[in-house]
Structure 1
Amino acid sequence: MADPKITTQSRMIRDLQKCQLLVAQITDSLKNQKAILKQRGMNLPPMVLSSLDSIHTDLANLADRFVDEQSELRQLRALADMSAQINTELDVDTVLQRTMDVVITLTRAERGYLILLNKETRQLVFRIMREEVLVGQTPPGATPEVSTSIIRDVITSREPLLADNAYQDDRLKGNNSIANLSLRSVLCVPLLYRDDILGVVYVDNRMQSGLFTQRELNTLMAFANTAAVAISNARLFERIQTLLQEITRMKDLMDSVFASIASGIIATNPDDLITTLNRAAAHILELQPEDHIGQPLSTVLPRITADIDQALAASREGGLGQQIDGEIETARAGRRALNIKLSPLRDAQNMTQGVAVVLDDVTEIREQEQQIRITKTYLPPQMVDNIHEISAISLGGERRDVTCLFVEARAFNTLKDVRPRDLLAILNQYLGVATDCIHEVGGIVDKYMGNEIMALFNTRLNPLEDHAARALACALNMRDAFLKLYAQEGIDPQPHFYRIGIHSGVATLGNVGSPSRRDFTAIGDTINTAKRLEENAVMGQIIVSDATRERLSSDNGWQFMELGTIQVKGRQQGIPTFELSR
């Protein structure tokens, strides 16, 4: 079915043409009758023929103007259609390609290009290309043969350029591309969006001059303005799509990270409503995340047996990170120990917008720490902390210069009338005082032997350059600690209940026992000598060998009273000894 608008336009043109033909016929008829009327003494009314000529001219002009207006109307309709398509079509390139076809048809150009400017490289990118088959088409991947000088001038000036005869245009003289390409009609307009130059729209005809007029320029300018908006919107849409994809990717990544983190994570908004609760937090607290998203934080945290309200307030209001320990009673796992870290969530203006709560299930760690504490009550703490050091020592041991201290904390003959149960409590009290003194100066307890302790200084577990001085300081501290204990018990034993022997020298240290059961200790003459000194001491006396005294860098104000020599089993010569005091 024919378009009604086109039918009406055609009828109007035919009517105008009929009117022109009728006026011409009347004019010719009057001219033929003019001579006859003159012979009879009659004349045509004045200005009749000139009026008919004027009418004929007006009708011709009216027909031409009608055709021009109809052509311009078709261009405007094409641009309106393009604008409507751009507003509804996501693929802007498809719309621009279709519209470029219309532009070439309306302007009667051979070729048309939409060329974008790469702002970073300043290179020209041919976004849309339309070329007639008869004039040759640019091979794929090749750059069309156009006047880059004209394109660069339009980009620089931001003004359109219309050349109805480019070959003879004074503005384009000296432009080699015009001559080389034999360009006749050229029309190039800028793609402007606000103050930004995006590129140009370029059309030409290499065969006809005077093809483009102001009307084609106006059409192409309108097309360029619409195309510039479309391209800018497309770029904005692409950036939004890219940003949305990046946000989605980051969200997926964060979700994966939150899901894979072993620590439980709970995040809230400024209203203390839960926005995030990861899988680990759900596992620790034994709850379903979807049941608590959007719920107050108080629906989860009150289950924790810790004073958490104060920590939350400090984190929210003071903007400070907090760390507390708590416990939770769960249905499946029972009581669990938790380490809880709270951190404020701040925005770009450093305003607190919520709180992040990190939960770590430290139940196993706390159990291990408790086991280690229990173990340290039976083994020297240094041995437990550095078990990897002594495990590397072979059963043969190593030779090392050490100081050995033996102390009898309380003689058994002072406990004759004490019941066995009370005896053990008293011994533990005195042995505890001596043990604290050993640890205070960096010594290690090698073993407990009933009411006695063997302590070592400068083993691999406690390397000490001043081991002799530390052993003597330990002995004097024991004396002070025992006197304080006597005062607490309200007794003043004479002589005192303790005796101590100290000797320094080379000993063999290492693991003794079997591959399945070992004990770290020290053996040798040095150890035996220290024991003999302790056995030779009287109650309340600290005996030190000359070998230990020689290893002191200074006497530290201590008093050494010479006692003479002591004969030790296995030695031919006696050992010079001294009594230590302050």
Structure 2
Amino acid sequence: MRTTPCSTRVTTGRCPMAAAQPTSVVGRGSAMRVVVWLLHVAAPMLGLWLLIARPEFDMRWEDREAHFALVLLTAVVGAVLGMLINRAALRRDDARQFLVSLTFLLSAGFLGLHALATPGVLLESANTGFAVATPVGLTLSGVTAALSAVEWSERGTAAIMRDRRWWLALAWSLLLTWAVISLAGFAPLDSPPDPAAVTAGQRTLGIVGGLLYAGAALRYLALYRRRPAVVLLSTLTAFVLLAETLATMVFARGWQASWWLWHVLMALAFCFIAYSAHVQFRREGSSVGLFDSIGLQQTVADLQRDYAEALEAMVDAVRRREAGDDRALAPAAARLAERFGLTERQVDVLARAAEALGHEREQARRLGTLVALGEEASVIRAEDDLLGRVLTLATDAYRHDRLRLGLLRSGELSFSDGAPSDASLEALRTLAPVAADDTLALPLTVKGRPAGVLEAHRPGGFADADRALLTSFASQTSIALENARLYHQLDGLFRSYMSPDVATALLADPAQAGLGGEITEVTVLMADLRGFTPFAERTSPDAVVAMLNTYYGAAVPVVLDAGGTVVQFVGDAMMAIFNAPVQQPDHALRAARAGLRLHEAIAAAAAGHDDWPRFRVGINTGPALVGNIGADQMRNFTAIGDTTNLAARLEGLAEPGQVVIGPGTRDCLWDDAVVSDRGSVAVKGKRDPVPVFVLDRLRKR
């Protein structure tokens, strides 16, 4: 689970991811909450319908001083709200927040002008300005509300924020101009209101403004569904209430309950946002970030990046503190507090969140080490090499701890850097983890028997989670060690009975041991001892075996070094193939080189034994069926076909110390070989004579 700066905290201050990326409210009960919200916003319209349908309920209350005070207070609340949102817009450089602030400044400003024009307070009688100020202001603010619903691009945002002073100047100019004309008694706002004209104007403005606010509300509803937040919901609700305000004005009767209703709706719109912001402020302890949730998507993304960077900085500071730098956390906390305006409590919460995230990442990294160790267990690797790799992985996983690995050798527990601790000896004896002071000793086993100890040291000891992970690490190390020893035994056993290439292929893919094969081009090398039968007749069997083992001990490495695969020994004869199972583009050249060097190796091995027979070699290149031949109970990897048969016939034509090659091999070697042409020779099993060549030497390249 990845932790974001505020997914781990719900009460932090100026790092409020709850504002930019709040917890979703979608889930059980969400449908009921939607129904409750709809009932609340629909209640004013139901009340208006009742007042219009039943005029006797539409009571009259004409208290002009109360109207002046209450409406002016509502306008002040709306204006303050607009200024707060404007300040947030300037801090975030966000066009949507700026346009929302204009919406509340315009609507509150014209509502204030309506309050100032209250008849009997500052003016002796009602005028047109008193009657139409609010619908005009709401319609103008509806334009900015609709504009705020647009997801502006970076370029559009830059243009709006660049010209923000002109927007504000235009808004204040409209308000001041209206105030001068309405309050100073200039036409056309100084005349008494014409009921018919006022009603028609309010109807037109109500339709236009209502549609603008309704469109903005729908857009904010889509935003809220994507990233639910309290202030975003309150803004959506305020737009709905302002749209209802315009609708109420069309049907309201002056100074009666229906007329007071639209005043109440505007007060609710402003106070609802103010209250939501107040609740958020009390929860977070700072006014910064209160309106981040209504920002553009780019702003939200920037905030998420800032918060992620802040948390990463704290994670790094916590990591350095754990590494021994006790002064790392305080400067980092001070920088974050200054950057985001965090209180000490909020910094403490962020530090704990960073510590939790750091530990989580560390555990994830250590689990990754377990995976890497599992991969090491599947590789054929020497035991010392494997243990060195294991210790490297463990040291990297627990970089601030001291780890060492000891193995049981000749009955004694041995560490490369000193004597074993008492805890390690106890763990080896009991085959159970042993914790003593700062040391944790974990036994390693192979087939249930003690094999070694993984020893870890940390001042203060290990937490339960680390102890469990180290125990798993030791278990995985035991498996890797057991596999390495098993692989080593199997590898040695296989390579004693078959060519290393075949053994490697079978260990990697046991399915290749199945009976059958495929046609492929190979070069076959046949070698046997000329005069072996007379030698065996006059020599004791043990001396014959000693000679063969000496010869094969010299010949086999030559073939293997050249990349050949020794497929069988038959008495004094040896067969090897090239280009199988490993592909070798120069297989003919490899076989030729092996044939010449074989004679050199045999000459050296037979030194001092003039009575020992010598090898002769035949080499042929061509297609052959390469694969496993035999039965389910026993099989042999070999190559069969005419190419193999001809190689055996060519070997029979060779003299001791000679390498005879066939036409296929001669064609492959061409300029690389110096040969003597023996002409075409009749060969048993072949209808036509076969061109035969004696390989004298290979040219150096």
| TM-score (structure 1 length as normaliser) | 0.47
Kindly indicate which of the two structures has a greater share of residues assigned to helix. 2
| TM-score (structure 2 length as normaliser) | 0.40
